[in-house]
Structure 1
Amino acid sequence: MAEELKKSYFEVLGLCCASEVALVERILKQLNGVQEISVILPTKTVVVHHTHVISDVTIVEALNKVRLEATVRPQEQSNFQNKWPAPSTMFSGLFLALSFLKYVYHPLEWLALVAVIVGLPTLILRSIASIRNLTLNINILVLMAVIGTLALQDYWEAGTVVFLFSIAQWLETRASYKAMATMSSLTSMAPQKAIIAETGEHVDVNAVEMNTVLAVKAGDVIPIDGIVVEGKCEVDEKMLTGESFPVTKELDSTVWAGTINLNGYISVKTTALAKDSFVSRMAKLVEESHNKKSRAQRFIDNCAKYYIPAVMLIAAAFAVIPAALRLPNEDYWFHLAIVVLVSTCPCALILSTPVVNFCALSKAATTGLLVKGGDYLEILAKVKTVAFDKTGTITKGEFVVTNFQVISDDVSLNALLYWVSSIESKSSHPMAAALVEYGRQHLIEPKPENVEDFQNFPGEGVFGKIGGKDICIGNRRIRSRAGCAAEIEFQNMEGKTNGYIYCGATLVGTFSLSDTCRSGAMEAVEELKSLGIKCVMLTGDNHAAAMLAQDQVQI
C-alpha cells in the first residue's frame, strides 16, 4: 500500500520571477520523500506533496540555504506582517536620499556608496546561491550591473539600482499577499468547528469522519456536506447555487458546507470528509487553475530559459567587442553594457502574464465565477456571447418590500406594520429583515418584547400573539395555520414573492418582496452590446423572477 502523501504550503519571499522556479524545483527534487512540486509565482507560494519521511522544517531549511526566505504556511492562510520594507532597504534609501546633498556639501556623495554597501549583502547571497545551483536569474543580472557601475565609480547610480531593486521586491511581495488574501476568502465560507449531535462536543471539522451525525443550530453555517436525518429548516444557498430564496430542508434533504441554516434545528449525517466537501472542491479547483499556465505563459516561460543567457551575452558583447577593436571612449561602451543588463531584466516580461492570470482567476473566484486556467482567460478575447448569473450579479441578492397593503377595513396600515415588524423581528429569515426595515421606513419601530408565543414554521411562515391577537405571516401555506378555509385570491405580482397576513382566521393584509437589480447592471449589459457581444442570463431561480430581472435590464 502506497504511503499517504502530505500537502504542505510554503511562503517563499525570495521568489522573484519564473527564472527562479527552476532553482526551487532543482533543490526540492533532490530531497528524499518529495513527490510533486507546484509553484504559484504571483503569491510566492510553493506547494509540496511529500511523504512523512521528510518534514516541513527540512524543506524550509533546504530553501533557506539558498536565501529564498521560506517559511511554513498553514493551508490557505496568509498573514502579511512586513508592512514596511526591510531595515536594510530603508537605510539604503535614506543614505541614497542624503547623497543628493552633495550639491551642497560635496563629500556627502560618498553616502551613495554607503547605500550600496547596506543594501547589497542580500543580493550577493542570493546570487551566490543561484550560481552554486547552476541557475541564472535576475539577482545575478542586477549584481553584475551594480559591480560594473561601481567599477565606473558612479556610486549614485549603483545605489539607485540597489535601492529600487529592493523596494520593487517588497512591493511585489505586498501585492502577492493581497492576491492570496482575495483567494483565501473563498475557503472561509465553511466553519472550522462542528458540533457532534450525540455529545454536543465542538470538534475540528477535519477530525469528523463519514456518517457522523452533526447538530446545526439556527443561524449556524453547515460545516460539512451531508443529509438531514432530523429536523426541518430553511437554508440560504445563495453563495453556492445563486438561488435568491431560502430552500426548505427536511428529512433526507442534501445540504452543503458553507450554506447557512436560517431557522430551526437539524441533525446532519455527513456524506463527505471536510477536505472533500463542496467548498473544499471549489478551493481546489481555483488552486489548480492557478497552476495551469496559459499558452502565452508557457511560451514566455520557454523563452525565459534562453532570455537571461542571451542578455548576458549581448551585454558582454557591448563591453568586450569595442575593447577588442580598440574603439574610442571605452567607458561609454562599458556603461552601455550595464544599461543593457538593467533595462532588459526579465521580471516585467516573465512575471506580467502569471500576475495578470492570477489576479483575474482570484477575482473571478470571489465573485462566484470559477475559471479552469489561463488558457480559458485567453479564449475570452474571442467570446461573442456572455452569460450572467442572476442572483448577486444582475440582482443585489437582497430582498426589498415592493408592495404592502391592508385588505381589512378594521385594521389600519400603521397597526398592520406594527404587528408584522414586531413579530418578524424575532425571526432570522432574510425576508423578515426586509419587512422590519420597511416598517422602520414608515416610522414604525418593532417591539419584540410585546410578542408572545412566537412560533416559526419553516417553509410556511411565523406566528405570534401581540395585543391579544393571533397573527400569522407567511406564504399561501400559512392559511391552514391561521384556520382560514377559503382560498382568497388577489392580484399576483409576477416575479415577486407574495406574503399574507392573517389576524385570527381573517386575511388582513398582503405584501410582495423581490430581489431588485443592481445599479449599473443595465449599463453593463448595454456596454457589452455596444461591443457586439450578446448577453444572456442564467439562473437557478424561478421563471417569474428570471423574467422580472430580464425586463429590468433588457437582457
Structure 2
Amino acid sequence: MRRKVLTVEDNQNVYRLQGLSCTNCAAKFEKNIREIDTVDDVQLNFGASKITVHGEATIEQLERAGAFDGIKVYPERQRTPENNVPFWKKRENITAGIALILIIAGYMLSFQIGEKSPLTIGTFGLAILIGGYDLFKEGFKNLTKLRFDMKTLMTIAIIGAVIIGEWSEGAVVVFLFALSEALEGYSMDKARNSIRSLMDIAPNRAIIRRGNETIEMDVEDVRIGDVMLIKPGQKIAMDGEVTGGQTSVNQAAITGESIPVHKVPGDEVFAGTLNEEGFLEVSVTKRAEDTTIAKIIHLVEEAQAEKAPSQQFVDRFAKYYTPAIMLVAVLTAIIPPLFFGGAWSEWVYSGLAVLVVGCPCALVISTPVAIVTAIGNAARKGVLIKGGIHLEETGRLKVVAFDKTGTLTEGRPEVTDVVQLSGMTEEEVIGIAAAIESFSQHPLAAAISRKAATNKLTPIKAEGFKSITGMGAEATVNGAKYYIGSPALFEGVIDIPETVLDRIAGMQSEGKTVMLLGTDQELHGLVAAADTVRKGSAAIIRKLHKIGIKKTVMLTGDNQATGKTIGRQLGVSETKAELLPQDKLDAIKALKKEHGNVAMVGDGVNDAPALATSSVGIAMGGAGTDTAIETADIALMADDLDKLPYTMELSRKTLSIIRQNVVFALGLKVLALLLVIPGWLTLWIAIFADMGATLLVVLNSLRLIRTKYSE
C-alpha cells in the first residue's frame, strides 16, 4: 500500500516523541490523536519515535492524547532533551519495586501465619493494587470498549486469579509484567539511540561572516552563500564548498571512513564532519534541512518505519493469534469442568494461565527491534539502508553484479608502463610527453601529467601545440618538434620495428591504451595507460565469496580483452564486456531469472536502470551525490566498496536473528501451553514464559548493535 503523497497545501507538522514505550501504546496514542476533531490524519513511526500530524493540533493536545504513557512531544527541529532519569527512579519502576517488597513480605507471612490469613491476603492485594495501578487503569478502559490488547488480557488474568483465591500468583504476575514492560521500553530506547546519535552529529549553531560582521547563529537561519568560519577542532555545521584555507577533515560520521580527508579550496565538506587542523572558510551550499546528514537522518527514519516482509507477516499472524489464544483460554476453562467433571477453580486457573502465556508481546517486537537496531548501526558506519525490505533482500543475495568503471576501478586512466626506445631516459620521455600534454584536456593527457608530478619532474616548456584529431598532438620542445599519440599517428612516417609492434599488441591485449612519443625521424618512447583496479577491490571480491556470495559478475562497456584482463585481476566469477546501458539491464534480468536475488553495485547515475531492476541496488559515493542516495536501495556513503561485505554480513545476521526471535517468541509459549495437559501450567510459569520470550527477543536483537566491520 503506497503512502499518501503530500503536497504543499497539506497542513502537516512533524514531532519527535519521548517516552513512547511499546507497540500497543503507540497504536493507542495514534488512535487518540485521530479522535481530535481538527486532525485529518496521522502517521506514527514507532522505530524513530516520531509522528506526522495532518491538520491542526497543539502540543498540549498531543501530550494529553499520550498522557496514559507519559509521552512528551517536541517539534521536529527541536532536539529532544536527554532522558537521564535513572532506571530505578522512574515512577513505574518504583511502584514495581514496592510491589516486589510486598510480595516478599506476603510470602514470609504465608509461611508464618498461613496463606489464608487476612493479613497475608491484604499484603498480596496491596502489591497487586500498587504494582498494577497503571495496568488496571488501561485494562478496565479497554474492557469497556471491548479492545483486547495485552493489558486487557493481563487485567482479566489477574482479576480471575483474585476471584479464585490465587492472590500470591496474581501479585507475582503484576510484578513480572511490569518488569517485562520495563525491558521492552529499555530495548527500544537502546535501538533508538542510533537515531539520536545521528541527530547529535551536526552542531546547532554556526559562525557566519556576512560583510564585515561575524555572528554566531542557529543553523536554521543560515542562508545559501553565507561564509561559514570553522576553527581547528570544530565540527562543520553545514554542507558547503571550501573557499579559503586547507585542512584534514574527519568524515567518519558521514562516510564511515576512519582516515581523514585533505580538503583544499573547491572541495566539498559535509555537516557533522570534524575539522582537525587548519582554519577553514566555507561557502554554504545547502540549507540545514537539505544537508547530507539531514537527508541520512530522514531516510533512516523512513526506513525504520517501513515494515519488512517478515514484520508484515508477524503483524498479520498476531492479528489472528490474539483472538485464537483468547478462544483457547475460554475452552480450557470451561470444557473440562462441563464435559469431563474437572474442578472449575482448577481449570479456570489454567485458562487464566493460557491467557497470560499467550500475550503476543514478544512476537510483535521480534522483528521491529532487530530492523531498527540494524539500520541504525549501518547508518553510523556509513551505510544507508532505505528500508527493512532491502535489509532482508540483501541478506538473501546469491549474486552481486558490479559496474566496472569507477566502481571496481578508479574510473580514470593511470600510466602503467614507460618504455625507452632510444637513448632517452624514462624521465625524459615522461617530461617531454607531459610538456606536450599540458595543453590538452584529454584523460590520457591528465594521466601523463599526474605521472610527471608523482615522479617530481621539473616542468619543461612546450611551444606551438597542435591537436591532431583522434590521433594525438604535436609541439616543439627544446627546439625540436615532437609527436605523441596512437601508433596510427606514426604509420607511414616511421618504420616501427616488429618488436615494438609486438609489444604494443601485447599491452593492448591487456586492456592498455598505448601512446608513442617521437619525432618524424625517430621513436623515443612508448607510454601505456589503463584504468587501474581500485586498491582493495580484489580483496573485497574474495571476501564476498568467502561469506557466501555464489557468483560475482563485472559488467563493462570496454572491449573483451580489457574486460577479461581486469576481471582476472579482480577474481570475479564472470565478466560481461562491450555492454551498452540497455545490455547491462538485460544482463541483470538474465541473472535474476537464473539465480533469483541479484544486487547491482554502481555509481547511481549511469547505472540507474540496472540499479532499479536488480533485487537490491547499491550505489557508491552517496556522500557526494544526491542521485546515489535517491536511486539506490542502499548507499555506501564513502566512494569505495570497503563496507560492502559488512553490509552483507549485517543483513544476513539480521535475517538470522529475526528467525531466531520468532522461534523464541512462539517456541517458549508452545512449551508453556503444553504444560496445560498435565495441569502443570501456573500463572507465574506463564508470565515467566512470556517475559522470558520478550527478554530473549530483546537481548538477541541488541546483539546487532555490536556488529562491526571485519577487516
TM-score range for the pair, normalised by the shorter chain length: 0.5 to 0.7
Deviations 1:414-469 (A, max 9, x none): xxxxxxxxxxxxxxxxxxxxxxxxxxxxxxxxxxxxxxxxxxxxxxxxxxxxxxxx
| 2:35 is the counterpart of 1:30 | yes
Distance in structure 1 (CA, Å) of the matches to 2:256 and 2:191: 25
Question: Which residue in 2 is equivalent to 1:343?
Answer: 357
Q: Which runs of 5+ in 1 are unaligned?
A: 388-474, 481-515, 547-552
Q: Which position in structure 2 is the counterpart of 1:83?
A: 87
Q: Give yes or no for the alignment of 1:179 onto 2:191.
A: yes
Letter in 2 for 1:16: C
Matched, 1:152 2:164: yes
Residue 22 of structure 2 corresponds to which residue in structure 1?
16
Distance 1:227 1:4, change over 3 A: farther
In 2: Cα distance, 1:123 partner to 1:542 partner? 52
Query: For residues 167-316 of structure 1, what are the structure 2 equivalents within 5 Å?
Result: 167-198=179-210, 199-241=213-255, 246-316=260-330
2:147 is equivalent to residue 135 of structure 1:
yes
2:73 and 2:281 map into 1 onto residues whose CA distance is: 37
What are the equivalent positions in structure 2 for 1:375-414 lying under 5 Å apart?
375-384=389-398
Whether the aligned pair in 1 keeps the contact of 2:187 and 2:369 (CA below 8 Å) is no
In the aligned structure 2, how far is the partner of 1:313 from the partner of 1:300? 20
Cα distance in structure 2, aligned partners of 1:5 and 1:33: 12
Question: Which is further off, 170-179 or 28-37?
Answer: 28-37
Residue 5 (1) aligns with residue 12 (2): yes
Give the match for residue 164 of structure 1: 176
CA displacement at 1:74 relative to structure 2: 6.0
CA distance in 2, matches of 1:366, 1:377: 15
How many angstroms apart in 1 are the aligned matches of 2:639 and 2:178? 56
SS in 2 for 1:8: strand
Question: 1:260 deviation in Å?
Answer: 2.6
CA displacement, residues 304-341 of structure 1 (integer Å, 9 cap, x when unaligned): 23332232222222223445447332222211211110
How far the C-alpha of 1:134 sits from its partner, in A, is 5.0
Partner-residue secondary structure (3-state), 1:211:
coil
Aligned with residue 93 of structure 1, among 90, 93, 100: 100
Structure-2 separation of matches of 1:137 and 1:149: 19
Name the structure 2 match of 1:69. 70
Question: CA distance change for structure 1 residues 298 and 21 in 2, over 3 Å: closer, same or farther?
Answer: farther
TM-score for both structures, normalised by structure 1: 0.66
1:372 match = 386
Inter-CA distance 97–41: structure 2 relative to 1 (3 Å threshold): farther
Change (3 A) 1:281 1:11: same
1:240 offset after TM fit, Å? Answer: 2.8
SS in 1 for 2:72: strand
User: Does the CA contact (< 8 Å) of 1:12 and 1:46 recur in 2?
Assistant: no
How far has the Cα of 1:244 moved from its partner? 5.7
Distance in structure 1 (CA, Å) of the matches to 2:152 and 2:710: 57
Q: Which amino acid aligns with 1:225?
A: D
Task: Report the Cα offset of residue 180 of structure 1.
Answer: 1.7
Structure number with bigger Rg: 2
Q: 1:368 to 1:251 in 2, by over 3 A?
A: closer
Asked if the contact 1:189/1:258 (under 8 Å) is kept, the reply is yes
Look up the SS of the partner of 2:87 in the other structure.
coil
- Superimposed CA distance per residue, residues 74-108 of structure 1 (whole angstroms, 9 cap, x where no aligned partner): 65644241411532111101111222212244346
Deviations 1:495-549 (A, max 9, x none): xxxxxxxxxxxxxxxxxxxxx99xxxx9xx8798275667999997999x99xxx
8 Å Cα contact 1:23/1:130 also seen in 2: no
Amino acid at match of 1:373: G
Deviations 1:259-286 (CA, angstroms, capped at 9, x unpaired): 2333333322222111110011111111
Provide Cα deviations, 1:370-420, integer angstroms capped at 9, x if missing partner: 222222232244234689xxxxxxxxxxxxxxxxxxxxxxxxxxxxxxxxx
Q: Which amino acid aligns with 2:106?
A: S
- Is 358-367 or 291-300 further displaced after alignment? 358-367
**Counterpart position of 1:54:** 57
Distance of 1:527 and 1:337 partners within structure 2: 52
1:116 and 2:128 aligned: yes
Instruction: Provide Cα deviations, 1:134-154, integer angstroms capped at 9, x if missing partner.
Output: 532100000010011111101
Q: What's the offset of the Cα at 1:241?
A: 3.7
Tell me how far apart the structure 2 counterparts of residues 32 and 341 of structure 1 sit (CA, whole Å): 36
| Range that drifts further, 322-331 or 363-372 | 322-331
Taking the aligned partners of 1:235 and 1:280, their CA distance within structure 2 comes to 19
Q: Does structure 1 retain, via aligned residues, the 8 Å contact 2:47–2:305?
A: no
Partner of 1:303: helix, strand, or coil?
helix
